[in-house]
Amino acid sequence: MTAEPLIEEREITLHGNAVAYRRGGRGPTMVLLHGIASNNHTWDAVIGELAKTHDVIAPDLIGHGQSAKPMGDYSIGGYATVIRDLLLALEAERVLLVGHSLGGGIAMQLLHMAPDLVGRLVLVSSGGLGRDLGAVLRAASLPGAPLVIRAATSVPAQLAGRAAKGLLDVVGLELPTDAAEGLDGFASLHDPDAREAFLNTVRASTGLGGQRVSAVDKLYLMRGCPLLTIWGERDAIIPVQHAYEVQALVPDMHLHIVPTAGHFPHVDEPDLFCTYLRAFEEATAPSELTLESLGEILRDETDEPELTGAP
């Protein structure tokens, strides 16, 4: 069995803010973007295996994990700008870009913003493909949410949560992955700066009606970039129906629905996840999209007949 490469903790300063990331392996560059209230450790189950054949870069998004949590732009576009600048600073080109949940929305925005940086796109239970959203994230947009989250992530509340989880361990029961990952992310919001970043992110892209930011009307711009979508059939955060709706719009998309997985298929089924990525890469060639070619697509889309007659 091949030994897993060393994955190093690193940090870079961009625009005065620290961006933490992990990097390891050799080969074509793969970038892993996590979801909201998460961090790069969501990829722990797959990063070592992927680094056997790739140079893997897994950042903590601004406002998350070990990265800085400044007052700033927590919109999808703001996140994509930081990831663009990170890849430019690290001299990464035509990467295999993997985005989970919020990270999927950021990945699509990055492709739109800097197509020459993206060779292939992988969306994992991705945001930005429809309005539907789990009740917890919708509720986080309510005016009283900051006080509720502060109370729920207090030290006594966290101790009670750990005690309850310990009791489950004693009797041999495990929390479903979605619940366990959600609790880990929620616990990070005890930090006031992380909590503020989380709320700013929620407010920028969601509301009581669900997701307010959609890439669906721009999917035609992706037709020059190989696209793989992986979704858990049991996803209670963003419904799997979004994947089927995107497939109808992008017929040549590679699609895998994981029957045993929820919102975190890379955690529930890491071996399958890595197999899907390898097969997708073997079956496709990197995108050659550029800003110029996107301009051509847009001009073709908006061409109107010339007006005749006197001005």
Q: Tens digit of pLDDT for each residue in 39-67?
A: 999 999 999 999 999 999 999 999 999 99
pLDDT tens-place string over residues 265-308: 999 999 999 999 999 999 999 999 999 999 998 888 765 444 34
Residue 311 has pLDDT above 80, yes or no: no
Q: Two tokens at 206?
A: 């969601």
The SS3 of residue 257 is strand
What is the average pLDDT score of the chain? Answer: 85
pLDDT band at 172 (very low <50, low <70, confident <90, very high): very low
Mean pLDDT within 125-130:
93
| 151-155, 156-160, 296-300: range with lowest mean pLDDT | 156-160
Check residue 302 and give its pLDDT: 64
- Across 25-94, the runs of DSSP E, i.e. the strands, are 29-33, 55-59
The CATH class given to the 8-134+210-294 domain equals alpha beta
Q: Known catalytic residue: 235?
A: yes
Q: What are phi and psi of 211, to 5 degrees?
A: -70, 135
Mean pLDDT within 10-33:
97
Check residue 124 and give its pLDDT: 98
Task: State the catalytic residue, choosing from 34, 256, 263, 266.
Answer: 263
Specify whether the CB–CB gap between 78 and 70 falls below 8 A: no
| 55-69, 89-103, 130-144, 194-208: range with lowest mean pLDDT | 130-144
pLDDT tens-place string over residues 174-231: 556 766 776 676 677 888 898 888 888 988 887 767 788 889 999 998 889 999 999 9
- Across 149-284, the runs of DSSP E, i.e. the strands, are 206-207, 210-211, 227-232, 254-258
Residue 256 has pLDDT above 50, yes or no: yes
Q: Known catalytic residue: 73?
A: no
Q: Known catalytic residue: 44?
A: no
User: Residue holding tokens 């560059």?
Assistant: 29
Task: State the catalytic residue, choosing from 55, 60, 235, 268.
Answer: 235
Residue 100 has pLDDT above 50, yes or no: yes
Task: State the catalytic residue, choosing from 67, 101, 126, 287.
Answer: 101
Whole-angstrom CA distances from 154 to 65, 151, 192, 217, 263 are: 18, 5, 11, 41, 26
Cα separation, 227 vs 118, whole angstroms:
11
